[in-house]
Amino acid sequence: MSRFRMYPTRAQEEQMLEHCAHARYVWNLAVEQHSHWYRGRKAAPGFAEQCRQLTEARHDNEWLRAGNADVQQQALKDFNKAKAARFASGFGEPTWRKKFVHNGFRVIGTDRVPELQADGSPKLNAKSKQVMGRSVVVQKLNRHWAQVKVPGCGWVRFRLTRGDLPTAKTFRVTWRNGQWHIAFAVIPAPVPAPGTGEVIGIDRGVTITAALSDGRKLNCPQLTVREAAQVRKHQRRAARAPRGSERKAAGYAAVARLKAREADRRKDWCEKNSTMLSRTYDVIRFEKLNIRNMTRSAKGTVQEPGRNVRQKSGLNRVILAQGWGLLRQRTEHKALGRVEDVPAPYTSLRCSACGWIDKNSRKSQAEFCCSSCGFTCNADTNAATNVAAGQGGIPRPRSSAGAGGTTPPTQRSNVREPQPTRVGIPLF
Ligand SMILES: [Zn+2]
């Protein structure tokens, strides 16, 4: 992906926000249209039919007519792509787009360039004439700056932070937390394997974000203590400010800015480390985590409220702040076909030297001492070594002492890691 920060002028920003509103409106109309479909009904309108309806709607509606037709049509194109990919993309059925959350629009390039076949020969149509494709109009200003043509805005500048000018058919502009970004629709070539045959195992945890089987420990950057205190301060003041006041809005905007900074740091960390992993190792093994299930809320229902809801929501927040999923996903993108998933049960309890599985081997969060052979190691490194070896042990915990021999039967699950003991300081 080629994504850059964009710096529009005030007038351009207004125009682009208008584009966002139009694209969102058209997308949501398409979502609504398709939501009326049910089994047995005639198919919901496809792209061509929707485009025809868009023309009609533009004719009847002055506000829509004032907007750019290409931007609106590309929103329909986006919707149809999302709809077609709903089983494979992992995002599911396309859903509503919200103001302030999903602000963005796609622009199709206005330049006409001859299209080429995969082997480099010119692409010809049935009458053996050259097929012309679209290309984005971009211009390099100097080493760090470039500009792109956005409909209705003229040239908009963006900061060229990596590589050369991208060539793409379309690009997408997004606005979030007061920042504009441009993403050119190009899929970069995957990183080639180094060919050393080296395998790395990665154990993802809360205390150490990613422990590697070579003993390295990688930690995802978070907000500093000072920044976290600022978040709490702004949240508190905003919560107490009168409803609809400027102070309230400003407080929540400050919180959003800080949270965006944290997300940026996390993303940067994931990108750098996934590149490092895909460049240095042939096979990269992650333990298989179902993060969605792990971060499920403990809230329960009104009739049956859950227990320890606040603690669980705090843990969920910590898990999601680690960027586990993103690291795995980006590594997969870069090291195409070289990422493997290892079943997670027992990776943290199995001795990486002799294979003995025992709950008592794990002395504390950091310490591992095998109760059978006496092998000592850092617990996370031990788990990562198991992951690199591609095994965690038997797939399901047994109720009897079959797995570990000395594990006493308890109410608790055997695969649970040792939990920190509570210090006697009441929180409330
Ligand atoms: Zn052992």
pTM reported for the whole predicted model: 0.76
402-424: b (≥16 Cβ within 10 Å) or e: ebbeebeeeeeebbeeeeeeeee
Distance of CA 372 from the midpoint of ligand 1 (Å):
5
Ligand 1 centroid from CA 374, angstroms: 6
Q: Around ion ligand 1, which residues have CB less than 5 A away? A: 351, 353-354, 356, 370, 372-373, 375
Rounded CA-CA distance 245/234 in Å is 14
What is the pLDDT at residue 419? 60
CA of 328 to the centre of ligand 1 (A): 29
Question: Ligand 1 mean position to 36 CA, how many Å?
Answer: 60
CA 417 – ligand 1 centroid, Å = 18
User: Would you kindly state where each structural domain of the chain is located, as residue ranges?
Assistant: 2-109+150-184, 199-343, 359-423
What does the DSSP assignment read for 235-282? Answer: HHHHHHSPTT-HHHHHHHHHHHHHHHHHHHHHHHHHHHHHHHHHHH-S
Edge-to-edge strands, sheet with 199-204 = 217-218, 210-212, 199-204, 283-288, 339-343
Kindly state the tokens that stand for 306. 């859950």
Q: How far is the CA of 355 from the centre of ligand 1 (A)?
A: 6
Q: Which residues pair with 135 in a beta bridge?
A: 111
Alpha-helical segments (H) within 36-177: 47-60, 62-66, 69-84
287 C-alpha vs ligand 1 centroid, how far in Å? 20
Helix (H, G, I), strand (E, B) or coil at 71: helix
pLDDT at position 325, please? Answer: 84
Question: Ligand 1 mean position to 53 CA, how many Å?
Answer: 69
Closest C-alpha to 76, from 104, 48, 99, 56: 48
Give me ligand 1 centre to Cα 373, in Å.
4
HSE, side-chain direction, 13 A CA sphere, residue 423: 2
Tens-level pLDDT at each residue, the chain (428 residues): 688 999 999 999 999 999 999 999 999 999 998 888 888 888 888 888 889 999 998 999 888 888 889 999 999 999 999 999 988 887 888 999 998 888 999 999 888 888 887 777 888 888 888 888 888 889 899 989 999 999 998 999 999 987 788 888 899 999 987 889 999 988 888 889 888 888 899 988 888 888 898 888 898 888 899 999 999 999 999 999 999 999 999 999 899 889 889 988 999 999 999 999 999 999 999 888 777 777 777 777 777 777 777 777 777 777 777 778 889 889 998 998 888 888 777 888 888 887 788 788 887 878 888 888 888 888 888 888 888 887 655 544 444 444 444 444 455 555 556 665 555 555 55
Model confidence over 29-76: pLDDT tens digits? Answer: 999 988 888 888 888 888 888 899 999 989 998 888 888 899 999 999
Rounded to whole angstroms, the Cα distance separating 274 from 333 reads 9
Alpha carbon of 291 to ligand 1 centroid (Å): 29
CA of 376 to the centre of ligand 1 (A): 8
* Ligand 1 center to 385 CA (angstroms): 13
Q: Give me ligand 1 centre to Cα 343, in Å.
A: 20
Q: How far is the CA of 367 from the centre of ligand 1 (A)?
A: 14
The alpha carbon of 85 and the centre of ligand 1 are apart by a number of angstroms equal to 47
Beta-bridged to residue 3, according to DSSP, are 183
pLDDT value at residue 254: 92
- Distance (angstroms) between ligand 1 centre and the Cα of 392 equals 14
CA of 352 to the centre of ligand 1 (A): 7
- Structure tokens of 366? 């950091």
Give the per-residue pLDDT at 392: 59
User: How many Å apart are CA 109 and CA 313, to the nearest integer?
Assistant: 45
pLDDT at 326: 87
Convert the pLDDT of each residue in 333-365 to its tens digit. Answer: 899 888 888 877 788 888 888 778 878 888 787
**Distance from Cα 351 to the centre of ligand 1, integer Å:** 5
Please spell the DSSP secondary structure of 2-32, one letter per residue. Answer: EEEEEE--HHHHHHHHHHHHHHHHHHHHHHH
Give 407 Cα–ligand 1 centroid separation in angstroms: 15
CA of 77 to the centre of ligand 1 (A): 57
Q: Give me the sheet containing 138-140, strands edge to edge.
A: 103-108, 170-176, 179-184, 2-7, 154-159, 145-150, 138-140
User: How much distance in Å is there from the Cα of 41 to the middle of ligand 1?
Assistant: 62
